[in-house]
C-alpha cells in the first residue's frame, strides 16, 4: 500500500491512500458538522407510526436548506437520501412507506456533500420503548466504535482499530460483521483504505497524519453472517438476529485523531427508553 499527496492525486480510486492537508480538514469539519446537525434534527422525529420515507424526506430537505447534497442519492443506482436499517437489517435499508413500530431500533445513515467534501455518519434510534437486549446491543456497538476511534494515531495500524472493536464486542458475546467495512473518503465517497472492524494488533495499513476515513462497525446479537435481499441493497443478518451500527468520519492528526461528526448537542448516542417486551 502506498500513500500520495491528495493535492497531486487523481480524483478517483487508484489503489493509493490520499494524505490530506489543512484545507481538506477544514472542509471535512464543515461537512461533518452538517451531518451531525442533521442526525440531531432527527432525534425527535423517530417515533412509532413514522414511515422511514418521512425521515428520508427530512434529510433531503435539510441538505437542500444547507447547500449540501445527499451522497447516496443515485449513488450506484441507490434511490434515496439516507439508509434506514431496522432491527435485523444490517445496513443499506431503503426508506419506504411502512410505519416504524414501537420497539424497533433503526440506524439512520446520512452522507452529505458540502463544498465537495463528504461527511458520513450514522446513529441508532429507538422507536418508543425498546427491548433491553436491543439497548445492550446499541450500547456495545457505540462503545466499540469509540474504542476503535481511540486506537487511531499516526503509527498505529488499521488492524489496531479492528482489534479494539472485535475484542470488546466478542467479550460481550456479540459478533462483528465482516462483509462491510469503513472506508477512506474526502472528495470521494468511498476510497482507499478499507477499515475492517476486526483484526489483529499491528497488522494492516499503517495510519499516517492526513488520512481521512470512517469507522462504522456493524454488530450482531447473533452470528456475523449477512445476506443481501433481492432489491440488491438491503443487507440482513442470516439468523435474523438484531444488528446495530454507529459511524463517525475521522481524520488522523499529528497527535491522534479528529472526529468530524461529533454531535454539537451531545446526541452521538440518542437516548432510548428501554423496558421488558
User: Rule CB under 6 A: which residues touch ligand MF3?
Assistant: 72, 75-76, 78, 83, 92, 109, 111, 120, 216, 233, 247
Smallest separation (angstroms) from ligand MF3 to the CB of 128: 26
40 annotated ligand binder: no
Among 56, 104, 109, 191, binds Co ion (CB under 5 A): 109
Of Co ion, ligand MF3, none, which one does residue 213 interact with (CB within 5 to 8 Å by kind)? none
Q: Is residue 41 helix, strand or coil?
A: helix
Copy the grid coordinates of residue 106.
433503526
Partner that binds at residue 78, options Co ion, ligand MF3, none, CB closer than 5 to 8 Å by kind: ligand MF3
Shorter beta-carbon distance to Co ion: residue 155 or 232: 232
Minimum distance from residue 197 beta carbon to ligand MF3 (Å): 12
> Which among ligand MF3, Co ion, none contacts residue 3 (Cβ within 5 to 8 A by kind)?
none
- Whole-Å CA distances, 131 to 103, 105, 273: 6, 9, 9
Find how far residue 270's CA is from the centre of its chain.
Answer: 15
Closest to 91 in 3D by CA, of 83, 103, 99, 79: 83
Give 7's DSSP letter: G
Cell numbers for 241, please give them. Answer: 438476529
CA dist 180 and 243 (Å) reads: 13
- CA distances 15 to 3, 125, 196, 252, Å, are 9, 36, 16, 19
144 contact choice in ligand MF3, Co ion, none (CB below 5 to 8 Å, kind-dependent): none
Per-residue exposure over 67-79, b if at least 16 CB sit within 10 Å of its own CB, e if not? ebebbbbeeeebe
Cell of 12: 478517483
Beta-carbon-side half-sphere exposure of residue 37 (alpha carbons within 13 Å):
12
Applying CB under 5 A, which of residues 62, 105, 106, 120 lies at the interface with Co ion? 120
Specify which residues 109 forms β-bridges with.
83, 122
What, of ligand MF3, Co ion, none, does residue 263 touch, CB below 5 to 8 Å by kind? none
| DSSP helix/strand/coil, 38 | helix
Of 123-131, 229-237, 246-254, 255-263, the window that binds Co ion (rule: CB under 5 A) is 246-254
Nearer to Co ion, 194 or 274 (CB): 194
Shortest spacing between CB 275 and ligand MF3, in angstroms: 31
Q: Is 85 in the site for Co ion (CB under 5 A)?
A: no
User: Is 203 part of any known ligand binding site?
Assistant: no
Residue 214 engages Co ion in binding (rule: CB under 5 A): yes
Tell me if 192 contacts Co ion by CB under 5 A: no
> Which amino acids are annotated as binding site for substrate, given as ranges?
92, 190
> Which amino acids are annotated as binding site, given as ranges?
92, 109, 120, 183, 190, 216, 247
Binding site for Co ion (CB under 5 A): 109, 120, 214, 247
Amino acid at each position: 500500500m502506498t500513500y500520495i499527496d491528495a493535492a497531486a492525486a487523481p480524483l478517483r480510486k487508484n489503489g493509493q491512500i490520499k494524505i490530506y492537508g489543512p484545507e481538506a480538514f477544514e472542509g471535512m469539519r464543515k461537512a461533518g458538522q452538517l451531518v451531525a446537525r442533521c442526525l440531531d434534527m432527527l432525534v425527535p422525529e423517530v417515533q412509532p407510526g413514522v414511515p422511514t420515507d418521512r425521515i428520508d424526506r427530512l434529510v433531503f430537505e435539510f441538505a437542500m436548506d444547507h447547500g449540501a447534497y445527499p451522497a447516496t442519492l443515485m449513488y450506484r443506482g441507490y434511490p434515496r437520501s439516507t439508509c434506514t436499517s431496522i432491527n435485523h437489517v444490517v445496513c443499506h435499508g431503503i426508506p419506504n412507506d411502512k410505519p416504524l413500530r414501537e420497539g424497533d431500533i433503526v440506524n439512520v445513515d446520512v452522507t452529505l456533500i458540502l463544498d465537495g467534501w463528504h461527511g458520513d455518519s450514522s446513529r441508532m434510534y429507538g422507536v418508543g420503548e425498546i427491548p433491553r437486549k436491543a439497548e445492550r446491543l446499541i450500547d456495545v456497538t457505540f462503545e466499540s466504535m469509540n474504542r476503535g476511534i481511540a486506537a487511531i494515531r499516526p503509527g498505529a495500524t488499521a488492524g489496531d482499530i479492528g482489534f479494539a472493536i472485535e475484542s470488546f464486542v466478542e467479550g460481550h458475546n456479540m459478533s462483528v460483521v465482516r462483509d462491510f467495512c469503513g472506508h477512506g473518503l474526502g472528495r470521494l465517497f468511498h476510497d482507499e483504505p478499507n477499515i475492517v472492524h476486526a483484526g489483529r494488533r499491528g497488522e494492516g495499513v499503517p495510519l499516517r497524519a492526513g488520512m481521512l476515513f470512517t469507522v462504522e462497525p456493524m454488530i450482531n446479537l447473533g452470528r456475523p453472517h449477512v445476506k443481501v435481499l433481492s432489491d440488491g441493497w438491503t443487507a440482513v443478518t442470516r439468523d435474523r438476529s438484531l444488528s446495530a451500527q454507529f459511524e463517525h468520519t475521522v481524520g488522523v492528526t499529528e497527535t491522534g485523531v479528529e472526529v468530524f461528526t461529533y454531535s454539537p448537542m451531545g446526541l452521538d448516542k440518542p437516548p432510548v427508553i428501554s423496558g421488558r417486551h
